[in-house]
Amino acid sequence: MPKLKLGLYWAASCGGCEIAIIELREKILDLDAAVEILFWPVAMDYKYHDVEAMPDQHIDVCLFNGAIRNSENEHVAHLLRKKSKVLVAFGSCAHTGGIPGLANLYSRKSIFARAYLDEPSVVNNDHALPQTSYAMPEGQVNIPRMYNTVKTLAQIEDVDYFVPGCPPQPHQIWAVVEAILSGNLPAKGSVVGANDKTVCDECKHTRQEKRIKKFYRPHEIIPDSVSCLFDQGILCAGPATRGGCGALCTKVDMPCRGCYGAPPHVVDQGAALLSAAASVADASTEEDAARIINEIVDPVGTFYRFGLPASLLHRNRIGST
Amino acid sequence: MADLFEPRIVGFLCNWCTYTAADTAGVNRMKMPPNVDIIRVMCSGRIDPEFVLKAFALGADGVIVSGCHPPGDCHYSNGNFKTFRRMPLLETLLAQYGIEKERFHWGWISGAEANKWTQLVQDFTDQVRALGPLDWQRELADKV
């Protein structure tokens, strides 16, 4: 039987998804026995022109991690879609935009200004900013154009499956690999390698539905290991996040950060979490409510930590920051 | 021309108080701008922040959330408590999205306050008209 042809790519990502695949540990040998890797820039020396030279749909499965942040990401996404039978958005960034998606609170202009001009550690007397093309004596050189708006893979290409997580958990990756190898795949567009219930379902902490007088940030409190972190006043994304990770963060008493994205039937993860957060405030007057609620620093960054590009509004208005 | 702009405003009104006020205003043929599209919900505590975000995402220029006066007026005794816990947080969120605070109003109008409703519709429509269109989808589509 011919081996399954696998492609892996990273767009706007940190490389953690690649590490997650290595985290398969000894199973990586089973993976190697079952598949032939045709493209994996982080680990193997293949070039884009190798992919361009392939016939269409030559790759059986492409695991695509990273958000779409610049013209190179988008170009390779279109290329890999053409060359792959099955395109999988792998990890939070490809699925919902991930941490790079928080750049949607800024514009390209303000990001460039911060990174190249205003940053205290930067010396840039010429006020040089990245240019997409430049005439060198040897000829014109071009670099990809950074976009104003970070997008998810599904916002620019047709995606077959989504594997959530920052990064996806190895046991879930293996479950997905097994499903692919056995041909036992769910309907197109499904989220695979995750549960249909929230993180709370897997969490060891006990919910008592207490009302809280004050919100704490994780560094301001040492939580106990028994009662619900929300009950203790810590903003935990668990109630608005799809389970499947095994409640890794809350297992060590850190609040869930929401990387597995919205559970089924929730359109906007941040709005769901905002609702959950506001409803635990112990306030019977408008003044009390406003006081407790105003302690929440950076609502967008907290409620949409991994999913701003996939949210209803996608980004803030350009020019507002 | 700017003075021709008619804002599209979505109003999420609770069945028992503000919707009743709006109904009374209508029955009494009280004069007000036609810019508010009313969505009746059973309780202002039922208004998921998602509704407001979706209204803006799909083209609303302004959004009104209005229910029964707290404490005590709520038909379900404390549904409006949920409203005043959520809405201030939603206000902060909208500010981060760059949506002007004048585009979002939340508050209380009882069934007996039809005048207050017509006044709100008049004032809020003027306020949003002065800001101009929000047009969220175009905002996104214009710039990569």
A75 CA: distance to closest CA in chain B (Å): 14
Cross-sheet strand order for the sheet of A59-65: A35-39, A4-10, A59-65, A84-90, A161-163
Q: How many Å from the N-terminal Cα to the C-terminal Cα in chain B?
A: 27
Cβ neighbors of B12 (< 8 A, separation 6 or more) are: B39, B41, B44, B47, B51, B52, B63, B64, B65, B66
Task: Pick out chain A residues at pLDDT < 50.
Answer: none
- A272 contact residues in B (CB cutoff 8 A): 48, 50
Contact assignment for A148 to B85 by CB distance below 8 Å: no
What tokens does A166 get? Answer: 């920052």
- B144 contact residues in A (CB cutoff 8 A): 147-149
Place of tokens 């016939």: A55
- A293 contact residues in B (CB cutoff 8 A): 85, 88-89, 92
Q: Is A219 left (phi over 0), alpha (psi -120 to 50) or beta?
A: alpha
Q: How many Å from the N-terminal Cα to the C-terminal Cα in chain A?
A: 56
Tell me what pLDDT residue A1 has.
Answer: 65
- Closest chain A CA to residue B56: A313
**B53 vs B140, more confident:** B53
Cβ neighbors of A232 (< 8 A, separation 6 or more) are: A212, A216, A221, A223, A224
Contact assignment for B85 to A278 by CB distance below 8 Å: yes
B28 CA: distance to closest CA in chain A (Å): 32
Q: Which among B48, B54, B89 has CB closest to A277?
A: B89
- With b for 16 or more beta-carbon neighbours within 10 A and e for fewer, the A301-317 pattern comes to ebbbbbbbbbbbbbbbb
Give B94-133 pLDDT, tens digit per residue: 999 999 999 999 999 999 999 999 999 999 999 999 998 9
- Closest chain B CA to residue A282: B85
At residue B142, does pLDDT exceed 80? no
User: Which class would CATH give B7-138?
Assistant: alpha beta
Percent of chain A with pLDDT over 90: 69
What's the sign of the alpha-carbon dihedral A242, A247, A253, A254? negative
- Mark out chain A residues that contact chain B at CB-CB < 8 A: 105, 107, 147-149, 267-268, 270-272, 274-275, 277-279, 281, 283-286, 289-290, 293-294, 296, 298-300, 303, 311-321
Cβ neighbors of B140 (< 8 A, separation 6 or more) are: A149, A314, A315
Q: Quick one: DSSP state of residue A91?
A: S
- Closest chain B CA to residue A211: B85
- Closest chain A CA to residue B51: A271
Q: Give the span between the Cα atoms of B104 and B86, in whole angstroms.
A: 13
Contact assignment for A274 to B144 by CB distance below 8 Å: no
Tell me what pLDDT residue B144 has.
Answer: 60
Q: What ranges in chain B are assigned the alpha helix state H?
A: 18-27, 49-57, 79-96, 114-131, 136-142
- B82 contact residues in A (CB cutoff 8 A): 278-279
Other beta carbons less than 10 A from residue A208's beta carbon? 9
- B90 contact residues in A (CB cutoff 8 A): 274
Contact assignment for A268 to B54 by CB distance below 8 Å: yes
Closest listed residue to residue A261, CA positions, set A105, A111, A93, A119? A93
**B40 vs B142, more confident:** B40
For chain A, domains (ranges, CATH) are 4-99+149-182 (3.40.50.700), 109-147 (no CATH), 199-303 (no CATH)
B133 CA: distance to closest CA in chain A (Å): 13
- A316 contact residues in B (CB cutoff 8 A): 96-98
Output the average pLDDT for chain A.
Answer: 91
Which of A312, A314, A321 to mutate to test binding with chain B, by most B CBs within 10 Å of its CB?
Answer: A312
Q: Which among A284, A296, A320 has CB closest to B98?
A: A320
Q: Give the span between the Cα atoms of A24 and A38, in whole angstroms.
A: 19
Size of interface A-B (CB pairs under 8 A): 98
At residue B85, does pLDDT exceed 80? yes
For A235, phi and psi rounded to 5 degrees?
A: -70, 110
Give A17-75 pLDDT, tens digit per residue: 999 998 888 888 988 888 999 999 988 888 899 999 999 999 999 999 999 999 999 99
Tell me what pLDDT residue A321 has.
Answer: 64
| Residue A162 vs residues A6, A20, A309: alpha-carbon distances, Å | 16, 16, 15
Q: Which among B48, B82, B136 has CB closest to A271?
A: B48
Cβ neighbors of B89 (< 8 A, separation 6 or more) are: A274, A277, A278, A293, A296, A299, B49
- B56 contact residues in A (CB cutoff 8 A): 312-313
What tokens does A149 get? Answer: 């708006």
> What is the distance of C-alpha A153 from the center of its chain?
11
ipTM of the complex: 0.89
**B41 vs B4, more confident:** B41
Closest listed residue to residue A36, CA positions, set A9, A2, A64? A2
- Closest chain A CA to residue B59: A313
Domain definitions of chain B by residue range: 7-138
Q: Which among B49, B50, B89 has CB closest to A296?
A: B89
Q: Give the span between the Cα atoms of A300 and A308, in whole angstroms.
A: 8
Q: Quick one: DSSP state of residue A167?
A: S
A160 CA: distance to closest CA in chain B (Å): 24
Which of A273, A286, A297 to mutate to test binding with chain B, by most B CBs within 10 Å of its CB?
Answer: A286
